C-alpha cells in the first residue's frame, strides 16, 4: 500500500504592514486570497485529489497543482469534492479546464463524491455528463479489481457520457451564438452568461439553451428569465469595463 502524499496549503500570503502602507504613491492592493486547499494521494495508476474550501475565481490558482497531479498519474484523477463549501461558475471552470487537459492526455477525471453545492451546480449546468461518475459502491469495487479492468470500464463510461453530452451540445452552441450576436460577447463570456442565468433561475442549462433558441421563432422568454439574462450580461460588461480601465 502506497504512503499518502498529502499537500494542503493556502496559495497566497497575507498582506504585510509594509505592503499595506503607501510611501510616495499608491501600491496596488493584494488580490483576494484563495480559500481552497488541495490534497493528493497516489492510488496505483491514478491520483486521488481532495478539494476543500471555497472554489471561486481565486480557485484558478489551484490549476497548476491540479495539472501537475494529472501529469503524475498514468490514467487520470479521482476528485473528492465533499469538502467544497462554495462553488461558482468561475470555480467550476477550473474543473472543466482540468477535464480538457485530461482528454488531451488520453486520461479521465472522475467524481468520486461531491458536496451539495457542487451537486446543485452540476444539475443546473447539465455538466454532470461530462465527468465519469463513481458512487461509493463502484469505487470500492474498483479498489479490488485490476488496473486494466478499471481503465477499460472508465473509458466505456467516458464514451457514454460524451455521447449524451453531444446530444445537447448543438443547442447550447446555438444559444451561445445568439448571445454573441445579440450582445457582442465572446464565446467564453456567452458561456458565463448562460451558466449565471441557469444558476439564478434554477433552470437546467440545456433547457435554458432550448428556450433561448426558440426566441428566434418568436417564443419569448419568461420575464423573470429575461431579467436574469440581462443582469448577467450587464455584469460581464461591467467586469470588462473595469478590467480595461487604466490603473
pTM of the model: 0.46
Residues 6+ apart with CB under 8 A from 227: none
Where residue 223 falls among pLDDT bands split at 50, 70, 90? Answer: very high
Q: pLDDT over 90 for what percent of the chain?
A: 9
Digit-coded pLDDT (tens) for 140-186: 444 545 455 556 666 666 555 555 554 556 788 888 888 888 888 88
Helix (H, G, I), strand (E, B) or coil at 80: strand
End-to-end CA, the chain: 53
Residues 6+ apart with CB under 8 A from 55: 36, 62, 84, 86, 87, 88, 91, 92, 94
The H or E element spanning position 176 is helix 147-183
Q: How far is CA 130 from the centre of its chain?
A: 11
Amino acid at each position: 500500500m502506497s504512503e499518502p502524499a498529502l499537500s494542503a496549503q493556502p496559495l497566497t500570503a497575507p498582506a504585510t504592514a509594509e505592503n499595506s502602507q503607501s510611501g510616495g504613491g499608491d501600491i496596488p492592493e493584494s488580490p483576494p486570497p484563495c480559500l481552497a486547499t488541495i490534497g493528493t494521494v497516489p492510488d496505483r495508476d491514478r491520483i486521488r485529489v481532495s478539494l476543500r474550501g471555497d472554489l471561486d475565481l481565486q480557485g484558478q490558482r489551484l490549476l497548476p497543482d491540479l495539472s501537475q497531479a494529472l501529469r503524475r498519474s498514468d490514467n487520470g484523477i479521482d476528485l473528492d469534492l465533499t469538502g467544497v463549501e462554495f462553488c461558482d461558475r468561475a470555480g467550476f471552470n477550473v474543473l472543466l479546464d482540468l477535464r480538457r487537459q485530461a482528454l488531451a492526455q488520453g486520461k479521465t477525471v472522475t467524481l468520486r463524491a461531491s458536496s451539495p453545492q457542487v451537486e446543485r451546480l452540476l444539475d443546473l449546468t447539465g455538466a454532470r455528463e461530462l465527468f465519469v461518475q463513481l458512487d461509493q459502491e463502484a469505487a470500492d469495487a474498483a479498489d479490488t479489481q485490476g488496473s486494466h479492468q478499471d481503465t477499460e470500464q472508465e473509458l466505456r463510461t467516458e464514451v457514454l457520457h460524451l455521447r449524451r453530452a453531444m446530444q445537447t451540445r448543438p443547442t447550447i452552441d446555438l444559444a451561445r451564438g445568439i448571445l454573441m450576436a445579440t450582445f457582442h460577447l465572446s464565446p467564453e463570456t456567452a458561456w458565463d452568461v448562460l451558466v449565471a442565468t441557469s444558476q439564478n433561475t434554477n433552470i437546467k442549462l440545456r433547457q435554458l439553451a432550448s428556450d433561448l433558441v426558440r426566441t428566434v421563432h418568436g417564443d419569448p422568454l419568461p420575464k423573470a428569465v429575461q431579467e436574469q439574462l440581462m443582469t448577467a450580461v450587464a455584469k460581464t460588461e461591467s467586469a470588462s469595463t473595469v478590467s480595461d480601465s487604466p490603473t
